[in-house]
Structure 1
Amino acid sequence: MKKSAILGVTLTTVLLSAQGIAADLPDPKSVRTDHLQLMQGFPPAADKQITQAGFMRPYPNPRWSFHHARELFPSRRVARGHEAVSVLPQAEGMEQQIADLTFTGPDGEQMSFGQYLDSTYVDGVLIMQHGKVLFERYQAGVPEDEPHILWSVTKSFVGLLATQLIEEGELDPAALVTGYLPELENSGWRGATVQQVLDMTADIDYSEVYADRNSDVVKYSLAAGMGPVPHDYPGARDLYSYLPTIAAGVDEHGQSFRYRTTHTEVLGWILRRVTGMSTAALIEQRLWRKLGTEEDAYMLLDSKGAEWAGAGLNVTLRDLARFAEMVRLGGEFNGQQIISAAAIEKIREGGDRDKFKAAGRDFQPGYSYRNQWWISHNPDGAFEALGVHGQMIHINPTVGMVMVRLSSHPIASSAQTMPLSIPALAALADLLRGREE
């Protein structure tokens, strides 16, 4: 099989379900999980079966597969342990007010917050203010206790842990990547620092364009094991083999920001080398057991047992809210300082906004990228973790607000959801502004 044909075949089976335009999207009500009846029956009907080859396409398969990923891929447990579950206090009286909140969309249209959630194919959303749950909603048919894939929100977990290790003196941000990973001496990361990997300003010969069937992200997804690999595929079939094959880019390291998941895979490799722990074990010991989570999480693995550090964490909505609230509180949660306040503050400082412009992400005006987090630089100092198909953590420190969202949007790129999310979240912040703690 020719290389172009291989990429064309695998494109429909892995990460890249990014084709299409908004006008072609299905009515969200027509693809409700409870109506689809996917993987029901013994055996399921042929047109209701989902395998690893079809977990992304055809749509609406993701509405089932995004919260059943461990049934399709190898995974490693992130145990909650035997600690008591931390309480998420409830605040009464805001649910309907939030659902009915109206805002002006990017094309001048009026939309309610509830319509925004439906139109972005939300599987679950939880909103907190000052530590109390104001709003919690799940798409009908989505199990509340089944972990959902976070995609690139995973990066922000890894970036936070790296920032903490820097604060503890266990990781040197100015050190060369190859000082930790000599396996990359002949790769595009030669001469790059750990900080440049954290901020994605190291330049490598790698493209991440979800709607391009010839993009390097397809090779990455095959190496990670995000779908069946054709038997005659000539490329790398695991992450440790793939990363050293990525060549240098045309620019000097540190000149501009360009979003590339392979940077996070390198960062995950560095953390495993520095700590002697798997990524799953690191998240478990440093975060999951301390947060008082309700459920185990898990991480998806490549064929050699390496976690997808840039995409593979699966957690429940309420446990994601606990993590986000801990970050909002400067690392303190469940009666302990889990992450240092200095680490959180370093992330919140943000990165170089001029360097960010090189990425062409016009749907995030004024943003920067710092240690695997998206920094809005808006008047409230909001910052975010984002994942394809609509995954989000949004933290507004000024208003004391956290929103976590799990979604299965038919189109991968955040360019589809952010133009609605930015005004929706601004309106939500204004609604909640000034409420008593």
Structure 2
Amino acid sequence: MIKSTILGVTLASVLISGQAGAVELPDPASVRTDRLQLMQGFPPAADRQITQASFMRPYPNPRWSFHHAREFFPSRRVARGNEGVYVLPRAEGQEQRIAGLTFTGPEGREMTFQQYLDETYVDGVLIMQHGKVLFEQYQPGVDESEPHILWSVTKSVVGLLATQLIAEGALDPEALVTSYVPELAESGWKGATVQQVLNMTADIDYSEVYADRNSDVVKYSLAAGMAPAPQDYAGARDLYSYLPTIGAGPDEHGVAFRYRTTHTEVLGWILRRVTGLSTAALIEQRIWSKLGAEQDGYMLLDAKGAEWAGAGFNVTLRDLARFAEMVRLEGKFNGHQVVSPEVIRTIREGADREAFKAAGRDYQPGYSYRNQWWISHNPDGAFEAMGVHGQMIHINPAVGLVMVRLSSHPIASSGQTMPYTIPAMAALADLLR
């Protein structure tokens, strides 16, 4: 049991509580960024001020703070490099057609695509087909040039890099985690392979339930520095001190998928050992400097300078679209083979769909999880990167479709948005065939 003083900080600063149907969500129009006037004035009025302790709570603070994370946490730049900006070509005349697209949402409700965007608290969305922008929209008041936190979409970027290093022979997927990070020799990762970490089938004694105030994700959040820890907090205050304290789970490694951000933090540690580079430098050198990005990105850091490999990447919507289009094109983009085609093909193969069921994610029927990406196994071969509060990359290779979405949904769990997103994406694919 975590001390109540810690819980108070955590509930106020880190977690958005509540499950589907358990809380009443605010009218999206009432929490538009342009109407909230958060952090306006010098200094801002007390009821409009956001601090590190109130970055996440109370809502609607995230509507502003998700675009301003580096103002609250230490960060490391992911430079765009010296390439000219790759201008995304546009196809005119599609905006109204897409906004008015109708589909059947949860509980048989008929809704339009625009309603889907509004009711999932989208901060920005961009849709492309065959490399051309069809639709781009931002919540009023959002600065489109300001990077937005990706949360767990970060995992998919790190997983892509790990898969590339495997393809190059620099990383052995069947090697034990402890062969790269001996500091974890007595932890729950003892006996686990790199591939089991990539697929999140290594079993550890760790829970990640965002609405549970006693979940281990609280300890992870405090170690990462996502919220200020109480002065008398005896737990770890940095990631690489915290990870070795996580024990073994009751099951064998490799049997069941269970989503745990700490696996990606271990993966980030492994990649640092293999390459000698920080996570930010690795992303910059291998990917970001080759995309023709408009803006630098940045990674958030813990107290000792380790990136949040599972959650801390911040980029703009259009630059995220460039990354996603590179993935759709099997690594070839802006005149570069950024990653090898076999890397994308390996990810798209997916993993054990029966093992996936252990996570209890009934809102993703038929899915699997491979190398930090979500694989739908639908007839179009769609696959995704997802983050809490509604962040997403959706790629449909059969239709040439890419959708990137940045959001600030009041509830963390993807269980809130996926019942809308799956039918919305199916309807969008049918519209564009």
TM-score bracket for the superposition, by shorter chain length:
over 0.9
Return the alpha-carbon distance in structure 2 between the equivalents of residues 235 and 60 of structure 1.
29
- Secondary structure of the residue aligned to 2:125 is strand
Which whole-Å CA distance do the structure 1 matches of 2:6 and 2:402 have between them? 39
Is the alpha carbon distance of 1:257 and 1:21 closer, same or farther for their aligned partners in structure 2, counting shifts above 3 Å?
Answer: closer
Structure 2 Cα separation of the partners of residues 66 and 164 of structure 1: 29
2:20/2:415 contact within 8 Å kept:
no
Tell me whether 1:423 sits opposite 2:412 in the alignment.
Answer: no
Residues 285-322 of structure 1, C-alpha deviation per residue, up to 9 Å, x if partnerless? 00110001000000000000000000000000000000
Post-superposition offset of 1:87: 1.4
State the Cα distance separating 1:24 from its structure 2 match: 0.5
* Letter of the 2:429 counterpart: A
CA drift at 1:60: 0.2
Give 1:353's aligned residue: 353
- How far apart, CA to CA, are the structure 2 residues paired with 1:14 and 1:202? 29
Distance (whole Å) between structure 1 residues aligned to residue 2 and residue 114 of structure 2: 45
What is the SS of the residue equivalent to 1:384?
strand
C-alpha distance in 2 between matches for 1:211 and 1:429: 33
- Is 1:154 aligned with 2:154? yes
Question: What's the secondary structure of 2:290's corresponding residue?
Answer: coil
Question: Which AA in structure 1 matches 2:34?
Answer: D
Structure 1 counterpart of 2:262, one-letter code: T
8 A contact 2:11–2:17 mirrored in 1? no
Deviation at 1:20, TM superposition (A): 5.7
Maintained 8 Å contact 2:177/2:191: yes
In 2, the alpha carbon distance for the partners of 1:38 and 1:146 equals: 16
Does residue 1:29 correspond to 2:29, yes or no? yes
Q: How many residues get paired?
A: 432
Contact 1:18 1:413 in 2 (8 A): no
Indicate whether 1:59 and 2:65 are aligned. no
Shift of 1:106: 1.9
Structure-2 residue corresponding to 1:389: 389
CA contact (8 A) 1:14 1:221 kept: no
CA distance in 2, matches of 1:347, 1:60: 36
- AA paired with 2:101? L
1:322 aligned partner? 322
What is the alpha-carbon distance in structure 2 between the residues aligned to residue 431 and residue 51 of structure 1? 44
Contact 2:6–2:229 (CA under 8 A) maintained in structure 1: no
* Aligned residues of 1:7 and 1:214 also touching (Cα < 8 A): no
CA displacement at 1:4 relative to structure 2: 2.7
Separation (CA, whole Å) in 1 of partners of 2:395 and 2:20: 29
* CA distance, structure 1, for counterparts of residue 359 and residue 298 of structure 2: 31
User: Which residue pairs with 2:400 in the alignment?
Assistant: 400
Alignment partners' CA distance in 1, 2:45 and 2:20: 30
User: Cα offset for 1:21?
Assistant: 4.6
CA distance in 2 between counterparts of 1:15 and 1:193 reads 31
User: For the Cα contact (< 8 Å) 1:13–1:228, is it kept in 2?
Assistant: no
Query: d(CA) in 1 for partners of 2:144 and 2:375?
Result: 29
User: For 1:19 and 1:400, how far apart are their aligned partners in 2?
Assistant: 36
Distance 1:170 1:95 in 2: 45
Q: Quote the residue 1:49 is aligned against.
A: 49
Question: Residue 198 of structure 1 contacts residue 264 of structure 1 at CA under 8 Å; is this kept in 2?
Answer: yes
Question: Within 2, Cα distance between the matches of 1:21 and 1:173?
Answer: 37
1:50-84 per-position Cα deviation (integer Å, ceiling 9, x unaligned): 00000000000000000000000000000112210
Question: Once structures 1 and 2 are overlaid, which stretch shifts more, 411-420 or 8-17?
Answer: 8-17
Measure, in 2, the Cα distance between the counterparts of 1:19 and 1:213. Answer: 10
Query: Which residue of structure 2 aligns with residue 92 of structure 1?
Result: 92
Name the amino acid aligned to 1:311: A
- Taking the aligned partners of 2:273 and 2:247, their CA distance within structure 1 comes to 22
Give the conservation status (yes or no) of the 8 Å contact 2:25–2:410.
yes
Separation in 2, partners of 1:51, 1:92 = 41
Give the whole-Å Cα distance in 1 for the aligned partners of 2:274 and 2:239: 18
Scaled by the length of structure 1, the TM-score of the pair is 0.98
Looking at structure 1, the residues matched to 432 and 2 of structure 2 have their Cα atoms a distance apart, in angstroms, of 53
Letter of the aligned partner of 2:14 in structure 1? L
Letter in 1 for 2:4: A
State the SS of the aligned residue for 2:106. coil
Would you say 1:17 and 2:16 are equivalent positions? Answer: yes
In structure 1, stretches of 5+ residues that fail to align are none
SS at match of 2:107: coil
> Which residue of structure 1 lines up, in the alignment, with residue 282 of structure 2?
282
* CA–CA distance in structure 2, aligned partners of residues 288 and 405 of structure 1: 19
Kept in 2, the 8 Å contact 1:331–1:344? The answer is: yes
TM-score (norm 2): 0.99
Residues 106 and 21 of structure 1: CA distance in aligned 2, closer, same or farther (over 3 Å): closer
Letter in 2 for 1:198: L
The one-character-per-residue Cα deviations of 1:20-68 (angstroms, maximum 9, x if unpaired) are: 6556000000000000000000000000000000000000000000000
| Unpaired runs of at least 5, structure 2 | none
Alignment partner, residue 301 of structure 1? 301
Match of 1:253 in 2: 253
The aligned residue for residue 6 of structure 1 is 5
* Contact 1:7/1:213, CA 8 A, preserved across alignment: no
Q: Percent identity?
A: 79
Q: Given residue 89 of structure 2, which amino acid in structure 1 is its aligned partner?
A: P
Q: How far, CA to CA, are the matches of 1:367 and 1:426 in structure 2? A: 15
1:228-257 Cα shifts (integer Å, max 9, x gaps): 110001100000100000000001100100
User: Which letter maps to 2:247?
Assistant: A
SS in 2 for 1:24: coil
1:375: how far off? 0.1
CA-based RMSD: 0.9
Distance in structure 2 (CA, Å) of the matches to 1:13 and 1:79: 33
Q: 1:168-187 alignment to 2 at 5 Å?
A: 168-187=168-187
